[in-house]
Amino acid sequence: MANKFLYPQNSATRQVVDLSGMWKFAFDFESEGDAKDYKNGIPEGIMLPVPASFADFFTEKQYKEYTGDFWYETSFYADGAWADRDVDIRFYAAAHVAEVYFNGEKVAYHHGGFLPFTVNINKLLKYGEPNRIVVKLNNELSHTTLPCGEFKTLKNGRKLTTPYFDFFNYAGLIRPVKLVITPKNSIVDITVNHRTEGTTAYTDYTVETVGKGEIQVEVFDENRQKVACVTGNSGTVEIKNAHLWQPRNAYLYTFEFTLTKNDTVYDKYSLDIGIRTVKVEGNRILINGSPVYFKGFGKHEDSAVSGRGFNLPFIKLDFELMKWIGANSFRTSHYPYSEEIYQLADREGFLVIDELPAVGMLVSTRNAVDAATAAKIKPFFEEEIVQTVTLKNHLNTLEECIQRDKNHASVVAWSLLNEPDTTGSEKAVNYFKTLFDRCAELDVQKRPRSFAHIIASQPDKCMCTHLTDFVMLNRYYGWYLLSGYEIEDGFKRLDEELSKWDKTGKPVMFTEYGTDALQGLTRLPAIQWTENYQEEFLEGYHKVFDKHACVMGEQIWNFADFQTTEGILRVDGNKKGIFTRERNPKSTAFNLKKRWDSLPTDYKGNK
């Protein structure tokens, strides 16, 4: 298998070695790294931490805003015990395009900065001397990258990134890099799917292996009592009186997969699995056959200093704050998150809309405004390169995302694009259909599929809504348009639009709505950018939501303030957070907590 997506774990048969730490780092302003043989070692460089984004470690603008090639290097010694095992390097995420050199040889190329890839190094591994890893990365944006954008060259020769999205283009080795040592005969992939009949649960499974052998599956409950045992590389596990995984009431079984041959154990791998079903019925999404009202946020992997870098303390804190405020869901806007976030969502019972990094498919360097005001722009999907190269990259990313996240109980829906141009060209339809069909083929659990609609994507104008299983709306009436003294007209416009969506019969999820608010800023009467304006905005939206049966979820933009490209519309980033970037609550958080604590899980489920 070219790429191994199972999350690395230490066990009696497996070993994981963390290569995190200080790596040698160099910018390549003149694009001379290839000619100067950086693959065999960076001649001059500084030390930077991995995992992390590089931008916020510097005080000079040319480094913080750097666009182009840049290089990382580290080395390690191999254990002699690995000689008869498979040794892979696993990059949990390398943003955005990576070339990997091991002991001077190119061993991998990967496009896409938010999903893992592995490199087998058996043939090049040295014992008794250092092994060198060199990674060449590039963070330039184009119409073929995910996310999308462009860059331009300034008069001083430096490149400037101009994204088609409203968050900072953080890059680097943003997640861990680890060595994964496994047996030659090993388990390389597991797929599960669930169904229930009364109180009995059935989990269909398939295990892919390297080398011959037989799989035994043992299932343990949370008290470590064995509840099932079957054999075979594929089959069905039956669990009587099963505890189902429920929103904010998670239950995880431990499935232990053992690969044996002639009574010899070659490999073991365990998965914590929540048993749950998901489907769309009428204007509701059902979890285990019951309607669920989604309460939560769009989020970002974003924190000071480390940027988009892997940050376990913030991951833990974010979940505690979401539990405190009464949320039960979030969207991984606008890219797949670190795997540890999904694992914690499984354990805490959060519903996740898993989103691909297909953001910026709208030709605009002021996307936040143009997307909300439905400005006339050049159709994105008319370009031939989009229909070929971009689509190929998009499909590959889709496959990687589903392969990585398919077994998570928390992942209950896929978002295949964020705010794309769906009204400018008929060519968008074939592009979208290819994506949606492929998603259905890949996902054995057949989770609902959708994309986040910009304001131009109205029910009578969007060419692609018919492909969705539910509707995701990003709406900013009262902020980017009809704002300030016109806010009441904004609420009326929202009400009118939802009356049209009601008629489609599809579930509607609000995946973005909100206003910028500076913590501590208040005025009477409320004005834009104040905390009390943010409160009035949300109260007005929620009154409209409560009127319409089609609305089955509300995910506010955003959970916390986050960094963006600088500009006159942003004061050190986007301030739409209910919490600050440091995760302190704004006044809105306390009113929101009252609302969400009062709404039952099946709110509006019988309408």
- Find the mean pLDDT for residues 69-75: 98
pLDDT band at 372 (very low <50, low <70, confident <90, very high): low
- Please write the tens of the pLDDT for every residue from 201-258: 999 999 999 988 999 999 999 999 999 999 999 999 999 999 999 999 999 999 999 9
Question: Which residue out of 512, 531, 535, 554 is catalytically annotated?
Answer: 512
Say whether 419 is catalytic.
Answer: yes
Cα within 13 Å of Cα(1), Cβ side: 19
Dihedral sign, Cα of residue 443, residue 110, residue 341, residue 587: negative
Q: Quote the pLDDT of residue 371.
A: 60
Query: Which residues, 6+ apart, have CB-to-CB distance to 105 below 8 Å?
Result: 124
CA-nearest of 284, 257, 287 to 275 is 287
Q: Is the pLDDT of residue 367 over 80?
A: no
pLDDT band at 149 (very low <50, low <70, confident <90, very high): very high
Burial class (CB in 10 A: 0-12, 13-18, 19+), 230: middle
Q: Is the pLDDT of residue 437 over 90?
A: yes
- Find the mean pLDDT for residues 154-180: 95
Question: Which residue out of 419, 531, 535, 554 is catalytically annotated?
Answer: 419
- Find the mean pLDDT for residues 450-461: 95
Rounded Cα gap, residues 244 and 249, in angstroms: 9
- Please write the tens of the pLDDT for every residue from 278-287: 999 999 999 9
pLDDT band at 1 (very low <50, low <70, confident <90, very high): very low
Report the percentage of the chain scoring pLDDT > 70.
97
Report the percentage of the chain scoring pLDDT > 90.
93
Rounded Cα gap, residues 319 and 248, in angstroms: 11
Q: Quote the pLDDT of residue 4.
A: 86
Q: Quote the pLDDT of residue 574.
A: 96
Q: Quote the pLDDT of residue 376.
A: 59
pLDDT band at 379 (very low <50, low <70, confident <90, very high): confident
H or E segment and range at residue 137? strand 131-138
- Please write the tens of the pLDDT for every residue from 282-323: 999 999 999 999 999 999 999 999 999 999 999 999 999 999
- Please write the tens of the pLDDT for every residue from 94-131: 999 999 999 999 999 999 999 999 999 999 999 999 99
Contact assessment for residue 92 and residue 116, using Cβ atoms and an 8 Å cutoff: yes
Contact assessment for residue 550 and residue 498, using Cβ atoms and an 8 Å cutoff: yes
Structure tokens given for 69: 């090639």
Contact assessment for residue 510 and residue 552, using Cβ atoms and an 8 Å cutoff: no
Rounded Cα gap, residues 144 and 402, in angstroms: 20
Say whether 512 is catalytic.
Answer: yes
Q: Is the pLDDT of residue 262 over 90?
A: no
In degrees, rounded to 5, the angle at the alpha carbon of residue 101 between the alpha carbons of residues 99 and 106 is 80
Structure tokens given for 198: 């009364």
Contact assessment for residue 93 and residue 142, using Cβ atoms and an 8 Å cutoff: no
Q: Domains in the chain, ordered, with CATH?
A: 15-182 (2.60.120.260), 186-273 (2.60.40.10), 292-359+384-411+459-598 (3.20.20.80)
Structure tokens given for 221: 């409950």
Pairing of strands 508-512, 551-557: parallel
Q: How many residues does the chain have?
A: 607
